[in-house]
Copies of this chain bind each other. A is one copy, B any other.
Amino acid sequence: MPKPRRTRIVEVAKAAGVSPTTVSHALNGRGHVSVETRARVMAVAEQLSYRPSRAARTLRTATTETIALILPEFETTAGVGVKTITLDNYMQLIRSTSLTAFKRGYRLLLAPRADSPAAVADLGVDGAIICDPLESDSQLDFFAEARIPVVTYERPVHRPDFRWHVGADNADVVRRLLDHLIAAGGTRTAMVLPDLPSPTVAECRQAYLEWCAKHRAPPILEVVADPEGPEAQQRIAELLRGDNPPDAIVDGVPPSALDACNSVGLRVPDDVLVAAFFDSPDTRESDPAITAIDLNPTAVGESAVDLLADLIEGREPDGPIFVPAPMYVRGSTQR
């Protein structure tokens, strides 16, 4: 049993009684083809289950109908960022990106970070989605040099003019959490953030400080170096046992704050209110469940692919895209 040979355009042409040119025109909506001819060609193509060869098309048009997704810190340990914008979020993001890409007619390549413009060109993609474009790596430069459109899942802080990022409006998210904690009865709200060189973290920190200034509240900012280990919980516990402890916490490394409250014998929500920066199985299944923001990875993935497709296909879209991020109010902030 040989490998089934695919139908070629000449076969469609013969079956439809026209030239390959006309088949190509009809199928791609180019040139002038009479309505009847086009209909006939499409019917025949369908009937023979014709699928144009991507390789031939690529060779001719230098277009690959493929985009790359470049995950953060792909070649290092799982460590950085992985717990922060939790695994669950990433999985949904990946899933949504892949699904949307295929729906839009693109294939999704899962690529390691490139180490040169040549490596980027060698990927053979029409565009790319880059997670966590940090200043320290040069993905953005490489893709720019290779003239390949790029969309990012975080704002590249070192590129203030870069418009093609997609995600939640982090500053707004922080403000909403803070406002919610006040409304829920908090009077001194702390913020816990991981010590990562990520734009998201920077935005959260700044939004928090600005909010404190505006509300004339003293900032209580706890930055933890290792959000994976027990450090976060310990630091928060110390904070809670110290002078003038917070009675509300925005947790950027959930569920550390809840664990810390438990460990020092403080009740949530009675003694301390806790809200998480992002939703995850941990915030949903803890006791009490933790109020959290849904960073909406599914919508982020969809929007990113849409934006990238617009860029690739020359539609001059608007950017950046801020995806709606609903707050799930749960037991941890309901007295």
Interface residues of A (CB under 8 A from B): 1-4, 6, 49, 51, 53-56, 58-59, 64, 66, 69, 71, 74-75, 78, 82-83, 87-88, 90-92, 94-95, 98-99, 102, 107-112, 117-118, 121-124, 145-147, 228-230, 281, 285
A91 — nearest CB in chain B belongs to which residue? Answer: B87
Interface centre among A51, A107, A117 (most CB of B within 10 A): A107
A111, B118: Cβ atoms closer than 8 Å: no
Would you give 20 A-B contacts (Cβ < 8 Å), ordered by A? A2-B147, A4-B117, A54-B124, A55-B56, A55-B59, A55-B64, A59-B59, A69-B110, A71-B95, A71-B98, A78-B88, A78-B91, A87-B88, A107-B109, A107-B111, A108-B110, A109-B109, A110-B110, A229-B285, A230-B285
How many copies, total? 2
Residues in chain B near residue A281, CB distance under 8 A: 83, 228
How far, in Å, is A131 (CB) from chain B's closest CB? 12
Bound complex: CA of A49 vs CA of B122, how far in Å? 11
Pick the 3 closest A-B CB pairs, nearest first.
Answer: A55-B58, A87-B87, A3-B147
A75 — nearest CB in chain B belongs to which residue? Answer: B99
Bound complex: CA of A87 vs CA of B66, how far in Å? 26
